[in-house]
Amino acid sequence: MNMKLSYGLILILLAPFLAGCEQLGFEDPAAEKAREEAEGKAIGGGCRQTGRALEDCYQINRRFPKAAIYAGWRDMDGYMRENKIEEIKPDFPMKPPPGTGRPLESAEGAAESARPATGGEAAKPAQEAKTAETAAAQNTRPAPAR
């Protein structure tokens, strides 16, 4: 009887500690996969919004699944086309990913390669593209000072 009581007491005392196993830093594999999927989609959407090519996005973010990056890129592409939103050029030049000896293509080249080609449409001349880029740059406002 005394033995059963001591086992019961030990079990009752250890129950709160055993219930908090998730606080030991062990992450649920399903939750970790869902988090990586969400981050990959966000990265893909950001790459599309800045006009980066999908391949460059894969190269820069090797840690995330390509399927998630593509899904985010595709969703943002549809959203931007639907709402007629223009690409936002990054303020800072893109750095090459570590471990590669070559710089990535410029943002202009990445944006052109990211767009699907249509058969009947001719490519814009370089002068028209520069004029549009200059007009877009003049319409932007600087960020408010903090």
**Position 9 in a domain:** no
17 vs 75, residue with greater confidence? 75
**Position 135 in a domain:** no
- Please, how many CA atoms are within 13 Å of residue 108, restricted to the half-sphere of its CB? 6
**Position 92 in a domain:** yes
**Position 93 in a domain:** yes
Rounded to an integer, the average pLDDT of 55-67 is 90
Q: Supply angle C-alpha 48, 51, 54, rounded to 5.
A: 60
pLDDT digit string, tens, across residues 6-46: 878 888 888 777 776 666 667 788 888 999 999 999 999 99
140 vs 9, residue with greater confidence? 9
CA distances from 143 to 65, 91, 136, 140 (A): 33, 12, 15, 9
**Position 38 in a domain:** yes
**Position 132 in a domain:** no
Structure tokens at 141: 């406002």
Find where tokens 């594999």 sit.
29
pLDDT band at 145 (very low <50, low <70, confident <90, very high): low
Rounded to an integer, the average pLDDT of 129-137 is 54
Domains: count for the chain: 1
| Least reliable range by pLDDT among 33-42, 71-80, 92-101 | 92-101
- Please, how many CA atoms are within 13 Å of residue 141, restricted to the half-sphere of its CB? 3
Q: What is the pLDDT of residue 24?
A: 64
Structure tokens at 116: 């699907």
For residues 24 and 28, what is the distance between their CA atoms, to the nearest angstrom?
11
- Nearest to 104, CA basis, from 58, 72, 66: 58
**Position 36 in a domain:** yes
**Position 80 in a domain:** yes
Q: Which domain holds residue 97?
A: 31-114
Q: Which residues contact 70 (CB under 8 A, 6 or more apart)?
A: 44, 54
For residues 103 and 118, what is the distance between their CA atoms, to the nearest angstrom?
28
Residue 109 has pLDDT above 90, yes or no: no
Please answer whether residues 87 and 50 qualify as being in contact, where contact means their C-beta atoms are separated by less than 8 angstroms: yes
